[in-house]
Structure 1
Amino acid sequence: MKMIDLTQLITASMPVYPGTEPPHLTVASTYETDGFRETLLSFFSHTGTHMDAPFHLFGERTKLNEMPAAQFVGKALVIPCMQYGAGEEIGMEALAPVRQLADEADFLLFHTGWSRYWGKAEYFGDYPVPSQEVCRYALESGKKGLGFDTIGIDPIADEGLTRHRLLLSQRDIVIIENLTNLDKIGEGLFLFAALPLKYENADGAPVRAVAMLEEE
């Protein structure tokens, strides 16, 4: 089985959502003083490649730590979206060529190519976003989650987080943001896992996202 890591590295200088404090990775114990190394990690729950829970926006909805582990693993399909430019909506036409496979998938991962701007100003600009019709399709077809290689699924200017609210208000679905390496997967269904940190009252969490492909 071939494993492809879809996770951005957490560093002190990494891109974070505008207004969010960057991570702090402080060496708390050293080989010289303590005989071992230990790092104090301090970062927001929506740092790097991460997952949003319904509890992120709705206090009465489900927390990540309340979801079964099966929520985070399943069949996935990459949706090619490189044809969409800055600020454009990804509509159902993007799914049309692969609709049968999309219907079978538990996760849809949208490859916009925006991860090429990781660490650059363009990453926080106008990136492609899914249409509300695509979000409703995900809900109606019982998807476990949607994933994106962008910093969000709503435009930076949308302070109301319209698409987040549409998805997270209705059922237990997760949103995965800041994915990378989606170009390395290819066509067809594959096994996908994005396992979040399990902590109390989890509104979101960094994940280690991986694609597991059958060797040819």
Structure 2
Amino acid sequence: MKIVDLTQKLTEDMPLFPGTPGPKFTVKHTVETDGFREMEISLYSHTGTHLDTPAHVFPRGKNLEDYGADQFCGSGLVLDFSRLGEKEITPDLFEEAMDKALSQPRFQRKTMPKEGEEEKDRRLSSIEYLFFYTGWDKKWGDKSYLTGSPILSQAVAKKVTTLDLKGIGIDAISVDPLEGDGLLAHRILLEKEIIIVENLKNLGGLLQENFEFYGLPLKIPGGEGSPIRGVAKIR
């Protein structure tokens, strides 16, 4: 069994959404003085590699308590946008990346199609989490991580909502620009209860892999989001 870690390290100087205070890790007890070591941890719920539920942008949206643990794991597929640079992911680019990803041998037909079945729909039917690999995770720790990262156009966000997905993920700070648009892609996706995972890493190593994604949140009452330890289990 091979596990790929998709999670960025939590540090006090880590990249953060503008205006978000950094996490704090304070040693409160030590082995030398207390016989055991314990830390106090303080951080915002959307710090580091984390997920968003509908309650993040909708007052009456579903929160962490409204989902079973199975909502936060499932079969994954990675789309390659690593050559895009500081651009928006448009429908044409999305379809091109999707067609390339679905050309992998694991999606090739072994049985006759059902009547009326669309080939792309058949190949996508086994996918529960769709990931956008931009390569932006390589900038983690540098100021450039927060500037110019690829984002989802509203049209692409709407396309994603037509797929039968549990969630999506990206290796950048957000699926939306950091300023000015009112988190429109978030709203489009979360209105359809598609979980959003941000600040992932190592997606490039999964482009040709058949894998299961696991990104379980903390069990926070009423929580609209949570840091996760995201991993991929290679089949």
Whichever structure has more strand as a proportion of its residues is 1
TM-superposed CA distance for 1:131, in Å, is: 2.3
Gaps of 5+ in 1: none
Task: Please give the TM-score of this superposition, normalised by the length of structure 2.
Answer: 0.86
The CA distance in 1 between the partners of 2:124 and 2:137, in whole Å, is: 22
2:200 aligned partner, one-letter code: L
Gaps of 5+ in 2: 103-119
The number of equivalent residue pairs is 213
The CA distance in 1 between the partners of 2:219 and 2:74, in whole Å, is: 19
TM-superposed CA distance for 1:135, in Å, is: 1.6
Aligned to 2:111: none
Q: 1:90 to 1:40 in 2, by over 3 A?
A: farther
The question of 1:95 aligning with 2:98 is answered yes
The question of 1:158 aligning with 2:180 is answered yes
Query: Secondary structure of 1:133's match?
Result: helix
TM-superposed CA distance for 1:185, in Å, is: 1.9
Aligned to 2:212: 191
Aligned to 2:139: 117
The CA distance in 2 between the partners of 1:110 and 1:102, in whole Å, is: 15
The CA distance in 2 between the partners of 1:195 and 1:182, in whole Å, is: 17
Aligned to 1:145: 167
TM-superposed CA distance for 1:87, in Å, is: 3.1
The CA distance in 2 between the partners of 1:188 and 1:90, in whole Å, is: 25
Max radius of gyration: which structure? Answer: 2
Aligned to 2:31: 31
Q: 1:90 to 1:207 in 2, by over 3 A?
A: farther
The question of 1:108 aligning with 2:111 is answered no
Is the 2:79–2:207 Cα contact (8 Å) retained in structure 1? no
TM-superposed CA distance for 1:173, in Å, is: 1.5
The CA distance in 2 between the partners of 1:167 and 1:144, in whole Å, is: 11
The CA distance in 2 between the partners of 1:180 and 1:98, in whole Å, is: 19
TM-superposed CA distance for 1:199, in Å, is: 0.7
The CA distance in 2 between the partners of 1:111 and 1:159, in whole Å, is: 22
Query: Secondary structure of 1:27's match?
Result: strand
Matches for 1:39-54 after TM superposition, within 5 Å: 39-54=39-54
TM-superposed CA distance for 1:145, in Å, is: 0.5
The CA distance in 2 between the partners of 1:160 and 1:185, in whole Å, is: 31
Query: Secondary structure of 1:78's match?
Result: strand
Aligned to 2:21: 21
Is the 1:84–1:90 Cα contact (8 Å) retained in structure 2? no
Superposition CA RMSD, Å: 1.4
Aligned to 2:55: 55
Is the 2:90–2:155 Cα contact (8 Å) retained in structure 1? no
